[in-house]
Amino acid sequence: MKVLVTGGAGFVGSHVVDRLIEVGHSVVVVDNLSTGRRENLAPEAKFYQVDICSPKLLEVLDSERPACISHHAAQVSVPASIQDPLRDANTNIMGSLNLLAACVNIGIKKFIYISTGGAVYGEPEYLPCDEDHPINPLCPYGVSKHSVEHYLYLYSSLHGLNYTVLRYPNVYGPRQGVQGEAGVVAIFAQRMLGGNEVVINGSGEQERDFLYVSDAAEANLLALDRGDRRTYNLGWGEGVSVNRLFGLLKDITGYSGREIHGPPVPEVFKSCLEARSARTELGWKPRIALEEGLLRTVDHYRRIAG
């Protein structure tokens, strides 16, 4: 099958590309390289440096005619979305609509959309959040990502576009940058390896559901032919505090610095996702435990640091 991955030179998208190629799919990547990196690209993938907001996107889809699209390209920074909600909406909503319009024009039948479980629910009313939890995002990023979920339902009803929505928790692993909330693993790991001061925002008792990147990639693979017109949370269903994350990374890296706490920042305090539906309907479950995932991530940053 030919699969087009938007944002395929980025952190999670590049791992999805690798997994698709590993099992024999033909992969096309569309990425404007604003945050993606050419060195993340698998040599077997065909690459177009095109923005999802560009009219050239239709030309790419018309030329390649993929059977499925995995849509990872996005503005992912919560602080950036608060600072500039128009830019966030232009990329995440208008860019996605440009892609959806191209899909209808070309006749593409399956669309895997990467949404966010960490930002759409807002401050949870209960934990872990399942897919029926009220949607009350507290940042423009969460609003923009969820808005496209409604457009997908509309395009399915009007045009027959099949889709699967994957709501990611805090994904971490090799190739991760410091953008977005989940970048705490990359920030802490790289600063510890460099012997630099690490600052924890607030009390450090904030909790997130950390998912290793290969588990996110596996969900994309399974969604190629499952989960039609369904929305799935991914995650462990357990929150991990920033203080615990700091301690684990300190042990793995051998960091000798002390724990430093700075002022708190506006954020959802605790978040974790119930992924029972993904288990029963996609056949998906997370496999890489936190300690193992952090070891792999730190090894990656050690290697690239030389």
Residue-level pLDDT at 102: 95
- Asked if residue 182 has pLDDT above 70, the reply is no
Give 259's DSSP letter: P
Residue-level pLDDT at 267: 86
Residue 300 covered by a domain: no
Residue/partner pairs of 44-49 with CB below 8 Å, 24 or more apart = 45/5, 45/8, 45/17, 45/21, 47/8, 47/9
Residue 61 covered by a domain: yes
pLDDT band at 117 (very low <50, low <70, confident <90, very high): very high
Mean pLDDT confidence for 183-211 = 94
Can you name the residues that pair with 165 across neighbouring β-strands?
113, 231
Task: Give every CB contact of residue 227 below 8 A, 6+ residues apart in sequence.
Answer: 164, 281, 282
Residue 182 covered by a domain: no
Scanning the structure block, which residue is given the tokens 């998906």?
284
Residue-level pLDDT at 161: 96
> Are 198 and 230 in contact, with CB atoms under 8 Å apart?
no
Residue 265 covered by a domain: no
Domain hosting 147: range is 2-171+212-235
Closest among 189, 175, 211 to 9, alpha carbons compared: 175
Residue 81 covered by a domain: yes
- Asked if residue 19 has pLDDT above 60, the reply is yes
pLDDT digits (tens, 9 = 90+) for 23-56: 999 999 999 999 999 999 999 999 999 999 999 9
- Asked if residue 304 has pLDDT above 80, the reply is yes
Q: What is the average pLDDT score of the chain?
A: 95
pLDDT band at 178 (very low <50, low <70, confident <90, very high): low
DSSP H or E stretch at residue 155: helix 140-159
Residue 17 covered by a domain: yes
Give 270's DSSP letter: B
Mean pLDDT confidence for 195-212 = 95
Mean pLDDT confidence for 2-9 = 98
> Are 53 and 90 in contact, with CB atoms under 8 Å apart?
yes
Known catalytic membership, residue 141: yes
pLDDT digits (tens, 9 = 90+) for 122-161: 999 999 999 999 999 999 999 999 999 999 999 999 999 9
Domain count, the chain: 1
Residue 282 covered by a domain: no
Q: What is the pTM of this model?
A: 0.95
**174-208 exposure pattern, b = at least 16 Cβ within 10 A, e = fewer:** bbbbebbbbbbbbebbbbbbeeeebebeeebebbb
Residue 263 covered by a domain: no
CATH number for 38: 3.40.50.720
> Are 234 and 168 in contact, with CB atoms under 8 Å apart?
yes
Residue-level pLDDT at 180: 53
pLDDT digits (tens, 9 = 90+) for 219-260: 999 999 999 999 999 999 999 999 999 999 999 999 999 999
Determine which one of 141, 163, 172, 255 is catalytic. Answer: 141
